[in-house]
Structures are given as C-alpha cells and as structure tokens.
Amino acid sequence: MPEFCKVVRDGRILTVTIARPDVMNALHPPANFELEKVFDDFSADPDLWVAIVTGEGERAFCAGNDLKYQASGGGRLELAPKGFGGLTARYDLVKPVIAAVNGVAMGGGFEIALACDLILAAESAVFALPEPRVGLAALAGGMHRLPRQIPLKHAMGMLLTGRRVSAREGFALGFVNEVVPQGELMAAAQRWAAEILACAPLSVRASKQCALQGLGAGSVEEAMRGRYDQLAAMLRSEDFVEGPRAFAQKRKPAWKGR
C-alpha cells in the first residue's frame, strides 16, 4: 500500500490523494518515487481511463518540495525520472489527468497542477511559483508550461515576482478551468471526469497527444502533417466504428477502448 498517498479506483477513474498533511502535502524523494509508481500503473492499466489528483485536507494541494526534509539531511536530493509528483516529466502520458486543487499549490505543487490537463480549484486555492524568493527557480516545468498556458506577460508577472494568485484570478488568467466551493471540489472533478468518459477513450488520447505534440510544430500545417500513434490507434479501433453506428441508431455508444 502507498505510504505517502491514497489511491482509490472507481470504475474507469483513479483518484490519487497526496497524503502528507502535516507538511501541507509537500513532497520529498520517497513520496515522488511512490507517486511515480502510482502513475506508471495508471498509464499501463487498460481499465483506467482518467485520473484525478488532489491533496489531503483543506489547507493544501501540495506546498511543493519538502525543504525542511532536504535541509535536515533527510537524504541527498534524488529526482524521480518522471518528475515531481511523478508527473512533471511524464511527457508520454496520453490518458487525461485532472488536478483538483483544494488549497495551496506552491512551487512544485503548482507545477504538478500545470502538468495536468485540467485544473479545478476550490475557492480557497492559491497558486504561486515562489522559487526566486528563496534563490531557486521553477525547475519542474513551471517556467515552460506557464507561458504556454496563459499570455506571456501574465506568466512573466508570476515568474519574476513569485506572487500568489487566487483561484478566481487563475480562472481569469486562463490556467484554471473552474472554481467551486471547497465542499464541491471532488464532485466537480468527478463531473468533468464523467464528461471525459462519455467520449471515446482513444479519441480523447489522440486529441491530447495531437494538441500537446503539435505545440512544438512551427505552424498549423506542420502540426497537421505530424505523425501521432494515438491517432493511428483511434482510426484502427472498434470504437471508430461504434461511434457513428451508435449515433445512427440513436443510442449511447458502448466504448471499449480498442
């Protein structure tokens, strides 16, 4: 059983709760390696189609790197190959991941959320990349993901000052999809997950892969000429036949994920 997180399967959905509330769900190397294994298993499991990641309690989603653990000599700095929280350097995950941000998302915690495909935020959520205030930098992807997800000047305003941004401002800036009361956060995450599950899973994965990989192309034409294995898998799938058939028969499709 995981020691630093809680994992719950509910049909096609995997919910992962970072569980170090005594340190505001900050992560140390053992927790990062544990979360990496959790998301490795999620990626490989054909029965799981969507993941939700959140933090235990109402104070924090994840306060970032556990600097007290690092400063106390709790171990040399070890970096999990798939990044902070097992997600920030996981570039090949084609299944969607939803961040349900229940409180503080600072530094690496915000970087975990930025690495997810959707961010839902409780009204109490706070986001920041405060690393420059302590002589560091957002090395788990924040410096690169944030300017790709919101307008550059707004991203630079956060990156160069380390300032805190509320859930409402995050929604206005564009990196938060929805803001809800604290008590409705997980229900909102489940609602978004259900909307994803109403779509063909291979279509969802192809859409994610094409959108993210296409960002690296120099033009729309170049992106459209790219090669995407998830798109090829979708075109070969039984679901590619089932969707139009179900539409014609005026019934809900029975997706198989193959």
DSSP 87: T
175, 150 contact by CB (below 8 A): yes
Query: Catalytic residues, which ones?
Result: 111, 131
Residues 126, 166: Cα–Cα separation, whole Å: 5
- Give the Cα separation of 98 and 2 in Å (integer): 20
Q: What is the 3-state secondary structure (H, E, C) of 192-220?
A: HHHHHHCCCHHHHHHHHHHHHHHCCCCCH
The span from the CA of 201 to the CA of 180, in Å, is 26
How far are the Cα atoms of 89, 103, 135 from residue 131, in angstroms, in the given order?
18, 18, 6
Report how far residue 129's alpha carbon sits from residue 241's, in angstroms, rounded to the nearest whole number.
45
Instruction: Name the region of 169 (left: φ>0; alpha: ψ -120 to 50; beta: rest).
Output: alpha
